A = this chain, B = another copy of it.
Amino acid sequence: MQTNINQDRRSLPARERILLTAHDLFYQEGIRATGIDRIIAEAGVTKVTFYRHFPSKNDLICEFLEYRHQRWMAWFIDALQRHGGDLNALIPTLAEWFQNGNFRGCAFLNGVGELGSTLPEVVKITRSHKQDMTKAISDLLPPSELREQYAQAISVAVDGAIVRAQFDETPDAALKSLSLVLNLLKKSP
């Protein structure tokens, strides 16, 4: 899960420069902690340019989450395939994410915690994001009557591992706990 797309941002159109900059700052430092002034300074645009593309900060927040959703899902699906494409791929995939130096938890869970009570859009986007994440997990499971139920349960456990890895010194305990749950699930009828 790379946080930084290593293309020269200065060559990109203003709108994308703003979005990429906002992404990094919102994810690394938090949404309320990041002012518009900082974003326009680091994106190298002016205020008028910014407000022509994003009528308000709330609009930018929503577009940031939509963008994050696209980017994270693409990485997630690709990483799961790279690691085998079945349930065994889940732990190495998450390990890859957690061990990245830019890891700061789930942007959507962080967003809900920070803004859930004031910006309902964030809750809506998060629901749909987690639905897609659960779908990707479901695709790792063999067809069965319990497939959806299992995918839901794994998805919840994954969220637990994500937040745990966010505050623990190392992601080891989070991954080990998730492994334990997955192993029980594998052995279950």
Please list the residues of chain A having a beta carbon within 8 angstroms of any beta carbon in chain B: 28-30, 32-33, 104-105, 108-110, 112-118, 123, 126-127, 130, 149-150, 152-153, 155-161, 163-164, 166-169, 173-174, 176-178, 180-181, 184-185, 187-188
Contact = CB atoms under 8 A, between A and B. Distances in A.
Contacts of A187: 188
Highest count of chain B CB atoms <10 Å: which of A32, A127, A180, A184:
A180
Contacts of A185: 184
Nearest to A122: B167
Given A110-B113, A160-B158, A177-B152, A123 B184 contact: no
A110 B167 CA distance: 11
Nearest to A188: B184
A167 B28 CA distance: 22
A110 to B, nearest CB: 4
Nearest to A29: B117
